[in-house]
Every structure is written in C-alpha cells, then in structure tokens.
Structure 1
Amino acid sequence: MLAPQTEEAYRRLRRMILSLELRPGEPMVERRLEERLGVSRTPIRTALQQLSREGLVVRSGRVYTVAPVDLAELEEAFEFRQWLETQVVRVAAARRPKAQELRDLLASLEADLDPEVELEKATDFHLALARLTGNRFVVAALAQVLQRIYRARYLEITRPKGAEAALSDHLTLIELVQEGRGEEAALFMQQHLERSREALLRSLEGSALLTRP
C-alpha cells in the first residue's frame, strides 16, 4: 500500500499521462514535478517507479520519460485479448452463471462519470467475466493485458459515445452468457473488441503519439 503523499503523486501523474496532459516521450523531471504537484521528491520517485512497472513511463539511466504508444505492441495485445476473451465467454456461457454480479457492476456505470472511473469499472466487468471461467490463470492473463493497454483503452473510452457503446455491448454480452449462447457470445465479443480496436487505431493513425518498429 502506498503512503498518502505517494498515492496522491501516483494518481495525479497517472491521470496526466492517461489524459495526454503529459505527452509520450516527455521527460519526467523530478524537480519540475515537485513544483507542479506540490509534493516532495521521495513520493514522486516512488510514484514513477510504480508507473514504470505499469508501462506508463520508461527509465533510461536516471531519467524517466512518458512511454510512447507502441503500435506494434498494441496490435499484439489486442490480438491476444481477442483470443482470450472470446474463449472466456464460451466457457462462461457453458456454465450458465447467474449474472447478478455483472449487472450490479453495469448498474453503477453512468455516462457522466469521470472517464478513469468508467474505465476501472469496465475493467472490473471484463475481469468478472473471466472469473466465471473458474480459472485463476485466465483472470491473471487478462488483468495483465488490460493493464498493458490501459492508456489506449482510456483514449478509446473518452472518444465521443465510447463509454455508451461499451455499456450497450456489455449488456448484450451478459444476456448471451446468461442464456448459455456461447458461440454467439464469442462472436459478439470478437466484434466488440474489433470495433474498439478500429476506433482507437483510427484516432491514433498518423499521430505523433505512436512509435513504430
């Protein structure tokens, strides 16, 4: 658990990176961050280490910079996520679970919520689906890939109608899983993720935010 000042520094820096207030490739100069955040250097340094573990900043020597958005990595991550989550809903539907937990999660989503809150709840939804498989390794693998593409997902959910489209798709997925329609759920999940991927890549293509191999 992070100390209060470190937690505050971490959350503020994370939000600044996700919202592109701090741009990819921008150096994270500790002295400037002290002035900007109004906290001491030690909490900032610890926060940067945590952000590095999440892939949001990279370190070269003693200097941290905001990590670039790597198109090749995004493509691989989206491909892996699609393979994983289509199988997740097949298995979940075969078990015919009660979906009250998922409905409770969705009921807590509101269109005017803070984007980071909406994204955290969307993450909770996908992980809750994965837990319906009863396989802890599946849950861990999905959590890892969702974390690696967190910044891209943030950009996706903040596009016009992005959060609303995700909510509508999640409701459909719940119905298909609850009714045991595994193949339909897998196809719908594939389409859901493909729409998300295409919208994101359209917004990023040609952008200075991207790096390519």
Structure 2
Amino acid sequence: MVASQTEEAYRELRSRILALRLRPGESLSERRLEGLLGVSRTPIRAALERLAQEGLVRREGRGYRVAPLDLDELAEAFRLRAVLEATAVRWAAARRLQEAPEAQALLKRVEEAVDLEAELALATEFHLALARLAENRFLVEALSRLLPQIYRARFVEALSPEGRAQAYREHQRILELVLQGEGEEAARLVTAHLERAYLRLRESLERSYRGLLALGAEVRP
C-alpha cells in the first residue's frame, strides 16, 4: 500500500514540477503536500527523496524546495545531451535495424497529440526510445536523468505551430537515417536539432525572465 502511494505521490509531484505547476524555487512542506495529494507523509517523504535524486527538488534544512531554473545548468545539460544523443544514433545506425516499432509509434502519437504537455512528454519519450536503439543501458540511464532538467523549461517556450512541425519532421528524418544505417548524418542532424532547440529555449527564458520572477519562480541567469 505504501509503495503504491509512494509511486502515486512521485508521479503527481513530478508531473506538477515538470509542467511548472509547482514553481522553480517553491517550498514543499510535507504538511501542505499531504493536503494536496491526499496521502500520508511517509510516501510523500519517499517521493521527495526520489525527486531529489533526479535533481528536480533540493533538500533545504529539514524540508525540500523545487530546484530553480538555472540558465547555465541548462546550457551544460544541452551540451551533454547532444553528445549522448549523437553517440546513441551512431551506435543505433551501426546495428542496421530494419524497424524501430517503439520510436515509430511514439512519432505517430506526437503527431496526434492535442495539447502541448502531451506533445512535449511524447517527444521526450521519442528521444529516449531513439537512445534505446543503441542498446547501451548506461547511455539511456544518463539521458533519462538529464532530460527532466530540460523538459520543465520547455513550458516557457512559445513554440509556433511551424516550429513544432519542423521539429516533428526532424524527428522523422533522424529515425529514417538511423534505419538506413547513416550514423554520421543522423548524428549531425540530431546535434543541429538540439542546438536549435536550445537557442529557442534560451531566448524564451530570457524573454520570460521578469514574468517568471513575478510569479515567484526562482530563475538563475
């Protein structure tokens, strides 16, 4: 029972943090979270410890708070992400795969997503599915820990329908290149794709900086 409540509390808190419904820098008291989630302190405490391991919350004295958005950390995260994903597609292409059912199905779901939160979550899962094609669990684990640091910042990005369509086409092309065994071209495209994503996100964060501060969010330039 406690294990299932811990998982439920973890998933709900993680979802709220990633979607910025819990603001960067916001204090997370166990008493408040009891009322918010409807579970006792034991599963809440376990969920917070798990989120702390992921870097989404930080210990502060006897309590926790949501980790701030740090623009320098975001830049570091994107640099590492580009290295990991470029390596992943090179290794995946070398396997000469005929198909990639999980990644292909996720692309279809991205295309059919009806709201931004669902689309972002599915696009993130697509990148992980692409990495899994490399068949290296350490690479996938590293990327799994890194992506949440980037994901929540995406909610301040005003991405146009044209920009979202371009991102989708690039996802399609990267997967095509992997299945064609074109590892170097796939690596080049995924690196360029992530560079563009980072620049758009950085610009959006800088434009939204004062507004985020006004909402009580902690953002570090």
- Give the TM interval when normalised to the shorter protein: 0.7 to 0.9
- The answer (yes or no) to whether the contact 2:20–2:155 under 8 Å persists in 1 is no
2:114 to 112, 116, 125: 112
Q: Distance in 2 between matches of 1:173 and 1:97?
A: 14
SS state at 1:59 partner: strand
SS state at 2:28 partner: coil
- The answer (yes or no) to whether the contact 1:99–1:174 under 8 Å persists in 2 is no
Aligned to 2:14: 14
State the AA in 1 paired with 2:95. R
State the AA in 2 paired with 1:98. Q
Q: Which runs of 5+ in 1 are unaligned?
A: none
How many residues are aligned here? 210
- The answer (yes or no) to whether the contact 1:111–1:163 under 8 Å persists in 2 is no
Give the direction of change, closer, same or farther, for the CA distance of 1:13–1:132 in structure 2 (3 Å limit).
Answer: closer
Aligned to 1:194: 195
C-alpha displacement of 1:82: 0.9
Aligned to 1:166: 167
- The answer (yes or no) to whether the contact 1:111–1:164 under 8 Å persists in 2 is no
C-alpha displacement of 1:58: 0.6
Q: Distance in 2 between matches of 1:33 and 1:141?
A: 29
Give the direction of change, closer, same or farther, for the CA distance of 1:2–1:199 in structure 2 (3 Å limit).
Answer: farther
- The answer (yes or no) to whether the contact 1:177–1:185 under 8 Å persists in 2 is yes
SS state at 2:113 partner: coil
State the AA in 2 paired with 1:171. Q
Identity level (%): 54
Could you list the per-position Cα deviations for residues 45-100 of structure 1 after superposition, in whole angstroms to 9, with x for gaps in the alignment? Answer: 22222221221111121021111011121111111111221232223223321223
TM-score by length of structure 2 reads 0.81
Q: Distance in 1 between matches of 2:51 and 2:132?
A: 26
SS state at 1:172 partner: helix
- Output aligned runs, 1:58-137, within 5 Å: 58-101=58-101, 102-109=103-110, 110-112=112-114, 115=117, 117-137=118-138
Q: Distance in 1 between matches of 2:141 and 2:70?
A: 23
- The answer (yes or no) to whether the contact 1:19–1:155 under 8 Å persists in 2 is no
Give the direction of change, closer, same or farther, for the CA distance of 1:39–1:136 in structure 2 (3 Å limit).
Answer: closer
Aligned to 2:177: 176
Give the direction of change, closer, same or farther, for the CA distance of 1:113–1:2 in structure 2 (3 Å limit).
Answer: farther
Q: Distance in 2 between matches of 1:2 and 1:114?
A: 32
Q: Distance in 1 between matches of 2:18 and 2:2?
A: 20
C-alpha displacement of 1:155: 5.0
State the AA in 2 paired with 1:128. A
C-alpha displacement of 1:114: 6.8
Give the direction of change, closer, same or farther, for the CA distance of 1:210–1:44 in structure 2 (3 Å limit).
Answer: same
C-alpha displacement of 1:173: 0.8
Q: CA RMSD in A?
A: 2.6
- The answer (yes or no) to whether the contact 2:54–2:145 under 8 Å persists in 1 is no
In terms of mean alpha carbon deviation, does 17-26 or 104-113 score higher? 104-113
Q: Distance in 2 between matches of 1:144 and 1:16?
A: 17
Could you list the per-position Cα deviations for residues 111-149 of structure 1 after superposition, in whole angstroms to 9, with x for gaps in the alignment? Answer: 21572x444433332233223333333223322322443
- The answer (yes or no) to whether the contact 2:25–2:68 under 8 Å persists in 1 is yes
Give the direction of change, closer, same or farther, for the CA distance of 1:31–1:58 in structure 2 (3 Å limit).
Answer: same
TM-score by length of structure 1 reads 0.83
